[in-house]
Amino acid sequence: MIFNSIEFLIFFPIVTTLYFLLPKSWRWLLLLVASCVFYMAFIPAYILVLFFTIIIDYFAGIMIENSARRKRKMYLLASLFGNIGVLAVFKYYNFFIENINAIIQASGLHYTPISDLQIILPIGLSFHTFQAMSYTIDVYKGNQKAERHFGIYSLYVMFFPQLVAGPIERARQMLPQFHNPREFDYSFAVTGLRYILYGLFKKVVIADNLSKLVDEVYNHPNDYTGISLAIATVFFAIQIYCDFSGYSDIAIGTASVLGFDLMQNFRTPYFSSSLKEFWQRWHISLSTWFRDYLYIPLGGNRTSPLRKYFNLFITFLVSGFWHGANWTFVIWGGIHGFGMIIENFLSDKLSFKVPVFFQRIATLIVVCFAWIFFRAKSLKDASTIVLNLGGNWHLQSLLDLFKKAYFSPTFAAILMTISLIFLLLETNLRNHDISALFEKRSRFVRWSLYYIMLLIIVFIGLNDNAPNFIYFKF
């Protein structure tokens, strides 16, 4: 079940109505059942995989809290092994097998290649795995009490608004909310509906329409050069932002209607003046996860400059590998890691300050360049795009691309106008959330914006072949 579907349009109001009609002591059960239904709408059998890790982590948390130091570490390792093991089998097994086969074949040895596993990646596996891992690590560190209520702990991992694509929440943020649910709050509901509306607008109007042109170029990289490749890459940067932040907005809004607070996951990242700031504003729940559970344990900034650079690079390589079992993602992470090292080095050496405008342009160029490897299907395709960027920059080739992507001149003009309006909105969201931005306007302006966005969603955004959210595959 996806947020931009008729099924969810029916599912969510029913769940919300029942939730507030039930006594508080039973609401967790409704949400848990609803989360199971939501998850099983994809591949029902995979809920067994989810419950396998839930059972391991639930008992591991209790045993860690009740045991002496050596045994505590053993139970933590068992929890981590269970979670990482599931990831390794479903997400990374085929990647390692393919590379082992290629290495052995290149060495000239005769052998029978190891077969791939013909399995589909459970949706959102990396997200709820990291959320579960943060719980047992925090219990081990003494930052979180072990949850004794199995149903509440299961709901923490499975809460349907953020189950398959985040935000990746911490136990200390969510468990108290499940234990102490709110009564219906009009202000929370209004805030939530604003987030949902804006998230849908970003996803179905901007991201889904830009995907047509992006897919055309990145599925046939040898057919394009110069301006077409550059525009497709910039469009992908906008597409993935609107797609993923749109999902996060809908998740935050859905939870808010039910009375729950989820963390902000994006804060206008493309206006950042450095890669460091970019990662403070892009996929915040993941970047803070890697900061707290990998970068700081490696030593963080409390080391020599060389060791700090090493810690940064390793953290970003792992972050890239988290996104996908492909060398393209590793290189994407490496570009960001290397860029962060250069930034840190220059900040210590430069005696003058570069104007903020040029810092933002430079940051955006690096981010967009890295997106080439994130979006390309293979290293070969990524190399083709990079090498051909300096080719044909004639406007006619771009117009030809618009035709291939089924962009009529009228539709292209409408989409560009909507994108410019969206850009103006984003410039006002740098230090505010979308609900606060609406609240600052008069009632007439607010309701005019609501109706305009709804009409655009209905007439431009909704179609039968809308692509899934990009981050579902991670």
Could you read off the pLDDT of 109-136 as tens digits, one per residue?
A: 777 777 888 888 888 888 989 999 999 9
- CA angle, 254 then 258 then 263, to 5°: 60
Active-site positions read: 323
Q: Whole-model pTM?
A: 0.91
Report phi then psi at 53, rounded to 5. Answer: -70, -35
Burial 423-450 (b: 16+ CB within 10 A, else e): eebbeebeeebbbebbeeeeeeeeeebe
Distance of CA 230 to the CA centre of its chain: 23
- From the list 337, 349, 279, 345, the residue with the least C-alpha distance to 310 is 337
pLDDT score at 460 = 77
| 402-414 pLDDT tens trace | 777 666 677 777 7
Q: How does the average pLDDT of the chain come out, rounded?
A: 88
Give pLDDT tens digits for 150-209. 999 999 999 999 988 879 999 999 999 999 988 999 999 999 999 999 999 999 888 888
Peptide bond into 167 cis (omega under 30): yes
Boundaries of every domain in the chain:
6-181, 188-468
